[in-house]
Structure 1
């Protein structure tokens, strides 16, 4: 077979096969044979042709609603959406399955998948993290409601990943304040970050940023406000030493402490000179 003929055959198959498949699906959908439809839906599902299986399941919904097989149909229908990465629809379907079949042996799985669909919709750190927060809530609810679930450990891991993402987002916000010179806002944001994630591996880094932010804020302040603001730096430094006596960042914190003490000494001397 020469090259030209081979290309023609390949192109012909490329167009003919989808047309045949579409025709086959149309035939199934037009059929009045429920058992045949269900059998074909199962075949498409097993072959991972989820879009086709989904269409047949939809067609069978009103017919099999009161049939014992409806639970399995609904279960696979939800997965059809999930496997096609239609996570928003899948999330609703798994929730619907749980509402309809709360006593099912698959209830725990559906509950986990409902939460997992939110996790799959969790966006990049820079974007709105509503779905990340919902993931934490629903995963924790899964652990609470199904303590023996085979997915409980995985749910805890995902919760940890979500908290890490939220921590990074909050850090970037605080860092942005610092970078644009909004030092008081930066100090408050890093303080909130430290309070929100007290078990973070970066707590001493956040505390150092609080000290740096307050120092920059004091340094840029009007003279009448500098004393109390340099004193705030000193106060934060002592808190750093109490909390993180072994921190590798201790010397960095000490630098701002010494700068603030020197500034306070100058301010106090100037105030003394004025009085005399």
Structure 2
């Protein structure tokens, strides 16, 4: 049990720190409490600083230092990764101090608080969408801000995440054999992200899905569905004439046209048999 003294020492240090903070919080001297809050903030002990700032806010309302206390209080939440609370505090900072020189910064930090809440690709992306909207509003409001370039970079990252989520959904439809849904999803992906470097890949995936859908359809529906594949490949040729995937796309048109010929031959034979009767 050699480690017991170490544990005991850590416990005593923690108790000492807690006791010290408790004494500061109980103090009636608000100037002393503010001084200690500032010291904790500088030392990046944001938990203690936050507790003190929380106590001081109502005491300094109307004081010239109230704005600075509120500003740092918002950051204590952000630095502790309490992004939901930080977002609200940065938002209300702008409402409480609309003429402050820090409004641009706090508006940007509100966007960052939302961005920090953006989850993994496979989860709900509400905060990612909100981040894009807020950053675009920030850019529109502060077009000359030094933070515009960073804002655009974050928007690009958020859009890439949303694009990947849509792609994963479309691919899942394909892998599960829901080929019509996959074809639609890949087509929507192209419309939603027309400037994507993967647009030709999405278009080819849509063609593959619709070809599979036609192939598995009842005979009465196959003709129109193979015709759609042909039309989609023709569109691919026009939109992506330099694509490395063009050969693959054209191969599906060839397959579709061959199947259409077989269907036409079969229909002609059936018509001939019917006429002979």
User: In which range does the TM-score fall when normalised by the shorter chain?
Assistant: over 0.9
Q: Does 1:25 align with 2:9?
A: no
Please point out which of 203, 224, 243 is paired with 1:247.
Answer: 243
Q: 1:118-129 counterparts in 2 under 5 A?
A: 118-129=114-125
Please point out which of 169, 186, 211 is paired with 1:215.
Answer: 211
Match of 1:106 in 2: 102
* Distance of 2:55 and 2:242 partners within structure 1: 66
* Distance of 2:8 and 2:260 partners within structure 1: 85
TM-score by length of 2: 0.96
- In the TM superposition, structure 1's runs of 4+ consecutive aligned residues that sit over 4 Å from their partners are none
* Distance of 2:213 and 2:135 partners within structure 1: 41
Match of 1:79 in 2: 75
CA positional deviation for 1:242: 0.6
Q: 1:1-276 counterparts in 2 under 5 A?
A: 10-276=6-272
* Distance of 2:134 and 2:38 partners within structure 1: 30
CA positional deviation for 1:12: 3.6
Give CA deviations for 1:217-266 in whole Å, capped at 9, x if unaligned: 10001111111110000000000111111111111112211110100001
* Distance of 1:271 and 1:23 partners within structure 2: 91
Give CA deviations for 1:122-154 in whole Å, capped at 9, x if unaligned: 000000000000000001111111112221110
Match of 2:275 in 1: none
* Distance of 1:151 and 1:65 partners within structure 2: 31
Question: Helix, strand or coil for the counterpart of 1:62?
Answer: coil
Pairwise CA RMSD: 1.2
* Distance of 2:11 and 2:168 partners within structure 1: 50
CA positional deviation for 1:271: 1.4
Give CA deviations for 1:143-191 in whole Å, capped at 9, x if unaligned: 1111122211100000000000000000111111111111111111111
Instruction: Give the length in aligned residue pairs.
Output: 272
* Distance of 1:219 and 1:72 partners within structure 2: 68
Which ranges in structure 1 are unaligned for 5 or more consecutive residues?
none
CA positional deviation for 1:16: 1.3
Report which stretch shifted further, 245-254 or 115-124: 245-254
* Distance of 1:58 and 1:206 partners within structure 2: 52
* Distance of 1:8 and 1:151 partners within structure 2: 51
CA positional deviation for 1:29: 0.7
* Distance of 1:273 and 1:18 partners within structure 2: 91
* Distance of 1:121 and 1:148 partners within structure 2: 27
Give CA deviations for 1:23-55 in whole Å, capped at 9, x if unaligned: 111111111111100000000001111110111
